[in-house]
Each structure stands twice: as structure tokens, then as C-alpha cells.
Structure 1
Amino acid sequence: MQSSMAGSEDDNHHLIRSDDRQHPANLIPELCRKFWSLGWVTGTGGGTSIRDDDLVYLAPSGVQKELMKSEDIYVLELSKQVDPKKRVYLRSPPSLKPSQCTPLFIAAFTKRGAGCCIHTHSQWAVLVTLLLENQPANKTLFEINNIEQIKGFGKGYQKQGALGYHDTLRIPVIENTPFEEDLTESLEAAMDMYPDTYAVLVRRHGVYVWGETVHKAKTQAESLDYLFQLAVEMRKLGLPWLSDIA
């Protein structure tokens, strides 16, 4: 669905102008270039969004991520959004389209207080969902424990500290839909069912990962991709994802 918009590039161009490398409009293109180099956002897929207080900065749809510029960034006010499918933007770049990922990013910001949400089309994420799809039980939950990289994740929303080596990391899986914004309700339901998760897998599609800050979201996205790749290789070798090491 085409989103409704307010403002123009001319009257709100200042929102994406900054010499600060940490400004969201500068960080998003930089992050997308990194994710493209990792194979996470090839063919214009995937996206990234950063929240700065009430302002939300978003990568557009259909743009080659390694070529993205700050001028391509959308901006909206989080508190002003009433209908997730009829979003109102402070800044809308000409000749571009808003991302259908936007309502899913908004869910991470509103339900989890996230400062950044990353969506990738990682092959490892997709393969894990396929492996789960073809097992007799637990088709909608990825679980792994006793792996050092699990320590890269927080214990959960509004909880202090990180998971430990022996803890079990659980990432729910939702089913894909023809239109990405239609995933929103399923993603929110998965958040409610697994309140400590920092990510949701989308079957045959990819993964959404969020964190309180850009640094935490990026770290968790990288840790998760490592674990997904490891899980695929473990399955090839007949090794279980869950073990009783104590």
C-alpha cells in the first residue's frame, strides 16, 4: 500500500544534513554498505532504521544498498504515526519509495524501545528456516546453546546483562507473506510470545534484529549470522544445536 506523506525534500532537508558520522542519516548508508559486503542486502533487499528520540530514519525501498546516500533517507516522527500502513513522513526523497519494512521497524521501536532495527536477507538465516521447516517438531523456533557467541546477546528487554555460554538462545520464526508490511502482526505476536528475543526470523526470507543502540543491534546481527552459519554446518555434520553440557 502506498503510504501517505507530509513535508518535502526542500523544507526538511536539514534533517539529513550533518558532518557527524554518527548521525543516523550518515550511519544508515555506511551500515548498508557493510551489510552489502557481507551479502546480507544484495539486490536492494533488506534495510536499516535508526531511532533518535522521536525521529525515525529509514533506508528507502528499491535502492542498491552499497550506493545509498544520506539524501535517500526517509524521516518520520514516531509519536505521530496512527496507522502503520498510512505513515506520515517528515521527509520523503523524490523519486523513491518508502520501505515496506517500516511498520516492522516501528514495532521494534514501540514494543521494545529499540534504537536500531536491521533487516537482512542473509542466506544463513534463510537456510536455518528451511532446516526448521523440514524437521518434525519446533518448526517455528530456532534454539541453540553451549556456543560462545551466544554471549553476544542481552538477556532480554529491560533486563540487565548478557546471556551466558550455557544459556539457550531462542529465535522465533514467522511465515513469509507476499507483501512485507503484512508481516507486522506476526512479528508483534512473536515478540509477545518470546519477550526476551532480540530477533525474529522470517521463513524463506531473512531476519529482523534490533537493539537498544546501533552498536548493540549491529553486534547482535553479526553474532546471529555467525550462529546461523554454524548451525547449518552443524546440521551437515549431524551435530545437535542443543546439548546438555554443564
Structure 2
Amino acid sequence: MQALLSSELIDAGRWIDSQGWCPATGGNFSARLGENLALVTASGRHKGRLTTEDLLTVDLQGNPVDSDLKPSAETLLHTRLYQLDKQIGAVLHTHSVASTVLSRMVTGEWLTISGYEMQKSLAGNTRHDETLQLAVFDNTQDMPELAEQLAMRWQQTPLNWGFLVSGHGLYAWGKDIAEARRHLEGLEFLFACELEMRRLGVK
């Protein structure tokens, strides 16, 4: 199982890099390994050139298991998502231009999206005219604090598909890596549309 997940994360990294969604060494990816462990990318690794040597196992408190590698700084957000929802099987964190810029334009705690056919790429959505909300969090370097904010928001309203960190990027997830990739691609398309609408003065 771990070998398959490693291969899928490496492939996801190459695809994401080809889209320009993880420049430099930004971003981090993970996949659930059973109930209490996750496979995550190590800190400072280019996501388009990942190998199995760039992945490590952590427990759900973000501690490395039998590895000298350092997990990515945002690992605590991945592990908190796995704690909050046992159906989440993979998390992909990216730094695209569209998600980063759009997240800074949101004035409240939620980005509202409606009217796009591509909304149906997100699990549970069958209509274009539903109003979707994506949580937006203020950026901080204090990952334990941000993980607590995530948990508090989740208790009020369980989140779906992903969330944004202002001026930082997107966290997208799914039941497995394939679904996380679909949600990531769908959300990035929606962000690009919203950004273009605002650029044209429509919103």
C-alpha cells in the first residue's frame, strides 16, 4: 500500500508542477496510511522532482516515524484534517497564482462561488447553480494555531473539498489521491474564473 501511495504522490507532484501550481519548493502533499499514520512530503523538496526518498511517515501529531527526514512545515494541517474526517485519504497543498491572489481579495471568512458548470467536479455537487462556500483563513507561520483554527471552524461547519489560506494557497483533499487531484483541478479552474470575472469588473 505504501509503495502505491508513494508512486501516486510522486505522479501528482509532477502533474501539479507541470501546471505551475507549486513553484520552487512550495506546497506539500500527503496520503493517509491506515488509521493513525500518514505519508507526507519532506520539507524543502521540489514537488516536480519527488522520489521515494522525499517521502516519510508521520503519526497524526505530525511526528516522524522511523525517519530522519523533516516533515513539511504545514504537516500539522494535513494530520488535523485526517483527525477531523476519517473519510479524507489524501491532501494536496498548492501555491498557484489564482488561489494566492484570489484568497487576498476575500473580505470575510468564506469565498462564495456559484454559476459554474465546473462546480460538478466537486464531490456531492450535481448542479451549476448551487452556492458553494470555501473557508478562508488568515496566514500565519504558527501551524499549531492554524490547525486549532481549522478544528474550531470545522466544529461550526464541516468543510468540503478544500480551504484557502490568505496570500498562501489552497489545501484540497479527497477520499483518495485521485479524488484530491480532481478537487484540486476543479477548484483551480473555478478560482481562475472568479479571478478573471473580478478583473473584468463583473464582481
Tell me if TM exceeds 0.5: yes
SS at match of 1:90: coil
Q: In 2 relative to 1, CA 34–197 (structure 1 residues): closer, same or farther, beyond 3 Å?
A: same
Matched, 1:132 2:113: no
2:141 aligned with 1:178: yes
Q: Aligned partners of 1:228, 1:106: CA distance in 2, in Å?
A: 25
Structure 1 counterpart of 2:78: 105
Percent identity of equivalent pairs: 28
The CA RMSD measured in Å over matched residues stands at 1.8
Is residue 192 of structure 2 the alignment partner of residue 229 of structure 1? yes
Q: Supply the distance in 2 between the matched residues of 1:212 and 1:64 (Cα, whole angstroms).
A: 25
Give 1:170 shift: 0.6
Aligned length: 201
Letter in 2 for 1:206: G
TM-superposition CA deviations, 1:3-36 (whole Å, max 9, x none): xxxxxxxxxxxx86x4xxxx11122122111111
Equivalent residue for 2:32?
51
2:127 is the alignment partner of 1:154: no
Q: Does structure 2 retain, via aligned residues, the 8 Å contact 1:50–1:58?
A: yes
Tell me the equivalent position of 2:46: 64
So what's the TM-score if we normalise by structure 1?
0.76
Match of 2:181 among 218, 223, 229: 218
Which deviates the most, 183-192 or 103-112?
A: 183-192
Q: Which has the larger radius of gyration?
A: 1
Change (3 A) 1:203 1:51: same
Counterpart position of 1:31: 12
SS at match of 1:118: strand
Q: What is the TM-score with the length of structure 2 in the denominator?
A: 0.91
| CA drift at 1:49 | 0.2
Structure 1 unaligned segments of length 5 or more: list them: 1-14, 79-83, 134-138, 156-161, 241-246
2:64 to 66, 84, 89: 89
Is the 8 Å Cα contact of residues 129 and 201 (structure 1) preserved in structure 2?
yes
Runs of 5+ unmatched residues, structure 2 = none
